[in-house]
Amino acid sequence: MFFVFDGIDGGGKSTQISRLHAALAAKNETIVCKDPGSTQLGEALRDLLLSKGDMPIDMRSEMMLFSTARTQLVQEIVKPALAQGKFVILDRFVMSTIVYQGHAGKLNPEDIRAVNAFATDGLQPDHTFVLDIPVDVAMERLGDTRDRMESRGVDYFSAVRAGFLAEAKSCDKCTVIDATQTVDQIAASIESIAKEIIN
Ligand code: TMP
C-alpha cells in the first residue's frame, strides 16, 4: 500500500504523516520517506535544490533534478519496501513536480508526466492526500526564514495552490483535505480514508 501526501508548503504534511504512520504501524510495517530525500543521492540533490545560493538552476534542470532524486528513492527504497509487503507513506511525489515546475514553473505538465513515467518506472500511489490551505495562510506559516523554493513570491504559490487543486480534480485516487481544520479533524479524515482503501 502506497500513500502520498502532497500540497502547498505549510499545509502540515509532516504532522499528518506522523499521525497516519502511527495509525498504520499497528496494522502493518510502515515506512515514511521524503521526496526529495531519504537516500544519499536524494539528500544531496535536496540540499542543492533547497539551499539559497547564486548557482543558476534553469527550470528544466530543476525539474530533472527533482525527478532524479525520485528515481533513486523509488529504486532504492519504495519498490523494495512494497515488494516486501510494507506500507509506504511518501512526503510528496510526482504531483509536486507537475505543479511546482509545471503549473507554477511554466513547463509543460505533459512533458513532466512523461519524464516521471520513466523516472518512477510507472509507479503510482494507491492514494494521494492533497493538504490544501489558502496562500496567505501558507505564507504566514512559512515565516521569514525560507529556503530557495519557499522564497518564490505569492504569485508563484497562488499558481502552486491552483495547480494542486486542478491536478487533484482530474485524479480519481486523490482527496483534497481542508488543512485549515484542527490536526485531530484532519488526521481522523485521513485515517478513515486510508483504512477504507486498505480494507
Ligand atoms: P518539502 O519542504 O515539502 O520537503 O519540499 C521541498 C520543497 O521542494 C517544497 O518547496 C516543494 C518543492 N518541490 C518542488 O518544487 N518540486 C518537486 O518535485 C518536489 C518533490 C518538491
CA distances from 46 to 40, 50, 185, 198, 199 (A): 10, 6, 31, 31, 35
Closest of 15, 13, 74 to residue 42, by C-alpha: 74
Taking alpha carbons only, the member of 32, 41, 105 closest to residue 70 is 41
Kindly report the protein residue whose alpha carbon is nearest to atom 3 of ligand 1. 9
Cα 48 from Cα 187, distance rounded (Å): 32
Q: What are the CA-CA distances from residue 180 to residues 39, 78, 138 (Å)?
A: 32, 30, 10
Residue 155: per-residue pLDDT = 98
pLDDT at 111: 98
| pLDDT, position 194 | 98
Q: What is the pLDDT of residue 87?
A: 98
Mutate to test the pocket of ligand 1, among 149, 157, 164, 167 (most ligand atoms within 8 A of CB): 149
Q: Which atom of ligand 1 is nearest to the CA of 105?
A: 15
* Nearest protein Cα to ligand 1, atom 8: 149
Question: Would you state the pLDDT for residue 141?
Answer: 93
Q: Going by CA atoms, what residue is nearest to atom 12 of ligand 1?
A: 149
pLDDT (0 to 100) of residue 28: 97
Mutate to test the pocket of ligand 1, among 9, 96, 128 (most ligand atoms within 8 A of CB): 96
Distance separating alpha carbons of residues 57 and 34, to the nearest angstrom: 22
Predicted confidence at residue 83, as pLDDT, reads 98
Q: How confident is the prediction along the chain (199 residues), in pLDDT tens digits per residue?
A: 999 999 999 999 999 999 999 999 999 999 999 999 999 999 999 999 999 999 999 999 999 999 999 999 999 999 999 999 999 999 999 999 999 999 999 999 999 999 999 999 999 999 999 999 999 999 999 999 999 999 999 999 999 999 999 999 999 999 999 999 999 999 999 999 999 999 9
Lookup: cell for 20: 497516519
Nine-digit cell string for 74: 523509488
The 10s digit of each residue's pLDDT in 9-58 is 999 999 999 999 999 999 999 999 999 999 999 999 999 999 999 999 99
